[in-house]
C-alpha cells in the first residue's frame, strides 16, 4: 500500500496568520488532489494537480505539486475562521481508487 503522510497533524492558528500543510510520499503519483472536510460532511475537492512543479491558486490557497510528483503542499495566506476543517491530500496512481493521506486538522481562531 502506498502511503501519504501529512504534516502537521493538527494546527491551531489565529486569524490572519499564514500556514503550510505538507503531503509526502516515497511513491510517484500521476495526480494529486486536495480535499477539505467540514464537521458532519464528506470531503469536498479543492484542487487537482497533475504536472510535476505545477502551482495552482484558489483565492488565498496555493497548491504545489513537487517536481518528482512525490509530494505536495498547501499554503493558506491570511487564514480565516472559514478555513477551519480537515484537509486531506489524495494521490492517484492509475488504479481506479485514490490513496488518502492521514489529514491535517486546522483550527483558525477569530
Partner 1 sequence: DVKVTQSSRYLVKRTGEKVFLECVQDMDHENMFWYRQDPGLGLRLIYFSYDVKMKEKGDIPEGYSVSREKKERFSLILESASTNQTSMYLCASTKGTSPLHFGNGTRLTVT
- Residues binding partner 1 (CB under 8 A): 1, 4, 6, 9, 33, 35, 40-45, 48, 88, 90, 96-103
Q: Which is nearer to partner 1, 18 or 30 (CB)?
A: 30
Would you call the peptide bond into 49 cis, given omega within 30 degrees of 0 as the criterion?
Answer: no
Collapsed DSSP state (helix, strand, coil) of residue 109: strand
Q: Which is nearer to partner 1, 66 or 103 (CB)?
A: 103
Instruction: Sort 33 into a burial class: Cβ within 10 Å, 0-12 / 13-18 / 19+.
Output: buried
* Nearest one of 11, 20, 25 to 66, comparing CA atoms: 25
Q: Which is nearer to partner 1, 58 or 78 (CB)?
A: 58
Distance in Å, CB of 56 to partner 1, minimum: 14
Distance in Å, CB of 72 to partner 1, minimum: 14
Amino acid at each position: 500500500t502506498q502511503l501519504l503522510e501529512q504534516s502537521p497533524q493538527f494546527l491551531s492558528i489565529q486569524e490572519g496568520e499564514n500556514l503550510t500543510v505538507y503531503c509526502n510520499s516515497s511513491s510517484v503519483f500521476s495526480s494529486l488532489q486536495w480535499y477539505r472536510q467540514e464537521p458532519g460532511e464528506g470531503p469536498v475537492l479543492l484542487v487537482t494537480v497533475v504536472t510535476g512543479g505545477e502551482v495552482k491558486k484558489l483565492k488565498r490557497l496555493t497548491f504545489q505539486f513537487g517536481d518528482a510528483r512525490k509530494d505536495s503542499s498547501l499554503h493558506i495566506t491570511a487564514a480565516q475562521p472559514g478555513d477551519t476543517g480537515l484537509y486531506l491530500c489524495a494521490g492517484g496512481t492509475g488504479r481506479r481508487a485514490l490513496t488518502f493521506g492521514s489529514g491535517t486538522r486546522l483550527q483558525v481562531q477569530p
